[in-house]
Amino acid sequence: MMLIVGPLFSGKRQAAMDILGWSREELEKRAVWDVQDLAASAEDLPALAENLSHRDVVIATEVGGGVVPMDPAERAAREAAGRLTCLLAQRAETVVRVFCGIPTVLKGKLP
Amino acid sequence: MLTLVVGAAASGKSEYAESLVLSAGPARRIYIATMEPLDSESHLRVERHRRLRAGKGFETLECYTNLPSADVPAGSVVLLECLGNLCANELYSPAGSGDRAVESILAGLEHLRRQCREVVVVSNEVFSGGNRYQGDTLTYLRVLAEVNRRAAASAERVYEVVCGIPVCHKGGQMAYAGV
């Protein structure tokens, strides 16, 4: 599994298509994105990470860079999102961070 | 050559961008200021940036909207600060281009690139604090992100400044094993 992370609107899905030579249809079939939003409602984060790790590409938006939210639910959601991304990175063969559309390999090698 | 310097608030991006201008050698140095000082806080911010630039030989050109019309001297070295303000002005100022903000700014960058010897552009990293945005804030983030991505695609060099340290993403020494 390749994990692609990066700030909001940084071009993560486009980077996946460029790296793997995929069309938009292939991306929709073989990748899953916005997984940070799945974390909040997950009972078991390691199980969620394990499930996601069977996909070819998992894409997560970095959401932990701002001030700690006042709202407890938002705080918990942000915490879960960060933890999930760490669990995914452990399971990923390749981790790529996209910044302003430019990918950088943080772990492993590109296929 | 176009260099994009991106960083979070108070990351040291301006200072690094100025150092790139100085290292470009002797030339007319033009600082394109994009923040219209409308309150006392913005006046203080302008003063701080003027002190940083003092003695470095910059001429200031104010350009709040319509970058393609900026009257920059041929062969000069330009520092544009910053895309975050320019996007806000294009979107929300009465003189702005509204829906055409992205195209106007990118055309402006090409205008600078054609006209000047070196162009250093400062932009803002404001995209890691969550994804629950709505309305004008969401529009602003989408527009600035597209400008950042497209400016990065056309730039010869892209740096992210992290606590004063430049991390090169394109066109120079890579901090990590690059793609």
- Cross-chain Cβ contact B169/A102 below 8 Å: yes
Whether chain B has a CB inside 8 Å of the CB on A66: the answer is yes
Number of H helices, E strands in chain B: 5, 7
CA distance linking residue B109 with residue B145, whole number of Å: 15
**pLDDT computed for residue A45 by the predictor:** 96
Q: What is the pLDDT of residue B173?
A: 62
Classified by CATH at the fold level, domain B2-170 comes out as Rossmann fold (3.40.50)
Quick check: helix, strand or coil at residue B62? strand
| B109 touches A at CB < 8 Å | no
Range of weakest confidence among A23-32, A90-99, B41-50, B170-179: B170-179
- Tell me: pLDDT of B69 over 90: yes
Top-tier CATH class for A2-107: alpha beta
Local confidence band at B38 (pLDDT 50, 70, 90 cut-offs): confident
What pLDDT is stored for residue B179 in this prediction? 44
At B38, phi and psi to the nearest 5? Answer: -105, -10
Q: Is A36 on the interface with B (CB under 8 A)?
A: yes
Q: Cβ–Cβ of A101/B130 closer than 8 Å?
A: no
pLDDT of B45 > 90? The answer is: no
Is pLDDT of B176 > 50?
no
- B179:A103 CB<8 A: yes
The answer on pLDDT for A96 being more than 70 is: yes
Residue ranges covered by each domain of chain A: 2-107
pLDDT(B178) > 60 = no
Query: How many whole angstroms separate alpha carbon A79 and alpha carbon A98?
Result: 21
Nearest CA in chain B to A67: B129
The backbone torsions φ and ψ at residue B81, rounded to the nearest 5 degrees and listed phi first, read -140, 115
List the one residue out of B20, B13, B82, B80 whose CA is nearest residue B56.
B20
Q: What is the mean pLDDT of chain A?
A: 95
Partners of B131 on chain A (C-beta within 8 Å) are: 8, 34, 36-37, 61, 63
Chain B environment of A82 (Cβ under 8 Å): none
Residues of A in contact with B157 (CB under 8 A): none
Give, in degrees to the nearest 5, the angle at Cα B128 between B127 and B132.
80
At A20-69, the pLDDT tens digits run: 999 999 999 999 999 999 999 999 999 999 999 999 999 999 998 887 88
How many other C-beta atoms are found inside a 10 Å radius of the C-beta of residue B173? 8
Q: Copy the structure tokens of residue A89.
A: 């990175």
**Worst-scoring range by mean pLDDT, B44-48, B124-128, B133-137, B139-143?**
B44-48
Res. B6: pLDDT tops 70 = yes
Contact criterion met (CB < 8 Å) for A9 and B179? no
- Centre a 10 Å sphere on the Cβ of residue B157 and count the other Cβ atoms it contains: 18
Asked if pLDDT for residue B41 goes beyond 50, the answer is: yes
Alpha carbons B110 and A41: distance in angstroms, whole number: 46
Q: Is A85 in the B-facing interface, judged by CB distances under 8 Å?
A: no
Query: What integer pLDDT is reported at residue B164 of this predicted model?
Result: 84
| Predicted pLDDT at B174 | 53
Pairing of strands B77-81, B58-62: unpaired
DSSP state of B178: B
Domain boundaries, chain B: 2-170
